[in-house]
């Protein structure tokens, strides 16, 4: 156990286990591991190394791809938002990033590049999400333009994104897959549809490539399940320690606004973590934390740097003891639900002042 608190301890073996779960769910597909937003808050450097067995990596922006390359990684890197100007395009070429093309002016940028340039391209099709991509009626024109460009490695690859894959009974995913197939029926490039929810719930979306994100970190993409329910292992263990323990008498209040009142004499532990560390500030009293293997409730409001915990009339902890904010026994999905947020938001929201530390050094060295 590290002496640094609070800390987000990243379980390397859990990341590797979750990648194996992806392979088991989609055995005939290559895996494009999504590492955008600092690897969903888990620390890019740790996750790139831990997921050395992934076939490719996906990021949102060119700058994220540059950071990965700067760490010596030689695997395929796909930039999901593509480029927005000639400067980003030059960086993408220099650092050998594959580009998602989702609008016409990105094709214009490619065409302006020297004919000796060489880019692997993924054409993004909008099959119903209406966020990024070419609608079916415009896809053929975009494909033809890309086919004629010497700057583009042939054949062009194609992808789309499922809007409602986390809703198993929603028909939209079937409709999107059908729309994608209509455009891609005669294409020879590599194909990709499935995100985490897609590859788990919609087998028809597993194509040449799957693009898992949240499940790699041991978190369920479904609102009614945790990662553990799906056989995944939580990769982030967000922990801190008790910095004070005091007896509070029945009728006394705790915290800002005096929103919590002791119903009996009880011991209150103060732990060094708060919304300044990314612990959701709107969590209610009663939210569980882990103290010495027991779930104990928050008492009062979350402060910037501290929380108060009802340790009970016979205290389960003392100063220096570890407190689990989420991790083993305290699923992040539960915390997110109590905060009225997505699990994605919660792990991405852990602040930069919280160090990410590898909990187990079992990662391989290939990158």
The pLDDT of residue 359 is 86
Confidence of residue 49 (pLDDT cuts 50, 70, 90): very high
The pLDDT of residue 83 is 98
Summarize the confidence of residues 217-221 as an average pLDDT. 98
The full set of domain ranges for the chain reads 12-219, 236-330
Confidence of residue 364 (pLDDT cuts 50, 70, 90): very low
The pLDDT of residue 235 is 98
Mean pLDDT (the chain, rounded): 95
Summarize the confidence of residues 39-54 as an average pLDDT. 97
* Helix, coil or strand: residue 46: helix
Confidence of residue 362 (pLDDT cuts 50, 70, 90): very low
Summarize the confidence of residues 6-21 as an average pLDDT. 98
The pLDDT of residue 288 is 98
Summarize the confidence of residues 214-229 as an average pLDDT. 97
**C-alpha torsion sign, points 116, 120, 126, 131:** negative
- For residue 323, pLDDT over 60 is answered with yes
Rounded Cα gap, residues 332 and 267, in angstroms: 26
- 273-321 confidence digits (pLDDT tens): 999 999 999 999 999 999 999 999 999 999 999 999 999 999 999 999 9
Residues 6+ apart with CB under 8 A from 164: 170, 172, 173
Confidence of residue 114 (pLDDT cuts 50, 70, 90): very high
8 within 8 A of 357, measured Cβ to Cβ: yes
pTM above 0.85, yes or no: yes
- For residue 264, pLDDT over 80 is answered with yes
- 119-160 confidence digits (pLDDT tens): 999 999 999 999 999 999 999 999 999 999 999 999 999 999
Topology agreement, domain 12-219 and domain 236-330: no
Summarize the confidence of residues 52-71 as an average pLDDT. 97
Residue with tokens 């985490």: 196
Which residues form the catalytic set?
Answer: 36, 256
What CATH code is assigned to 12-219? 3.20.20.10
- For residue 117, pLDDT over 70 is answered with yes
**E strands in the chain:** 7-10, 30-34, 56-59, 76-79, 97-101, 121-124, 157-159, 191-192, 209-210, 236-248, 253-254, 260-261, 266-271, 288-291, 294-297, 307-312, 322-326, 356-358
Confidence of residue 177 (pLDDT cuts 50, 70, 90): very high
Superfamily per CATH, domain 236-330:
Lyase, Ornithine Decarboxylase; Chain A, domain 1 (2.40.37.10)
């Amino acid at each position: 156990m590290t002496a640094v608190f609070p800390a987000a301890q990243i379980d390397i073996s859990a990341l590797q286990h979750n990648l194996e779960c992806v392979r088991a769910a989609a055995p005939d597909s290559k895996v494009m591991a999504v590492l955008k937003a600092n690897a969903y808050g888990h620390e890019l450097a740790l996750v790139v190394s831990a997921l050395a067995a992934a076939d490719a990596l996906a990021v949102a922006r060119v700058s994220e791809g540059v950071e990965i390359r700067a760490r010596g990684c030689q695997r395929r890197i796909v930039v999901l938002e593509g480029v927005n100007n000639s400067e980003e395009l030059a960086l993408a070429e220099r650092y050998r990033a594959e580009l998602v093309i989702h609008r016409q002016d990105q094709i214009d940028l490619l065409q302006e590049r020297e004919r000796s340039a060489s880019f692997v391209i993924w054409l993004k099709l909008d099959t119903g999400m209406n966020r990024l991509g070419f609608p079916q009626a415009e896809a053929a024109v975009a494909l033809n333009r890309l086919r004629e460009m010497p700057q583009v490695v042939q054949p062009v690859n194609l992808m789309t994104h499922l809007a409602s894959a986390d809703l198993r009974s929603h028909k939209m995913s079937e409709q999107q897959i059908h729309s994608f197939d209509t455009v891609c029926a005669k294409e020879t490039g590599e194909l990709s549809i499935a995100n985490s929810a897609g590859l788990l719930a919609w087998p028809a979306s597993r194509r040449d490539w799957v693009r898992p994100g949240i499940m790699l970190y041991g978190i369920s993409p479904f609102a009614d399940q945790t990662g553990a329910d799906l056989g995944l292992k939580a990769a982030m263990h967000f922990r801190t320690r008790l910095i004070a323990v005091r007896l509070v008498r029945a009728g006394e209040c705790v915290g800002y606004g005096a929103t919590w009142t002791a119903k009996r004499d009880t011991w209150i532990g103060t732990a060094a973590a708060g919304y300044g560390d990314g612990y959701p500030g709107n969590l209610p009293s009663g939210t569980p934390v882990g103290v010495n293997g027991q779930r104990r409730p928050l008492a009062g409001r979350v402060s910037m740097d501290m929380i108060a915990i009802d340790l009970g009339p016979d205290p389960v902890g003392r100063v220096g003891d570890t407190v689990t904010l989420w991790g083993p026994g305290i699923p992040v999905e539960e915390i997110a639900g109590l905060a009225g947020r997505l699990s994605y938001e919660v792990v991405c929201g852990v602040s930069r002042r919280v160090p990410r530390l590898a909990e187990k050094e079992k990662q391989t060295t290939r990158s």
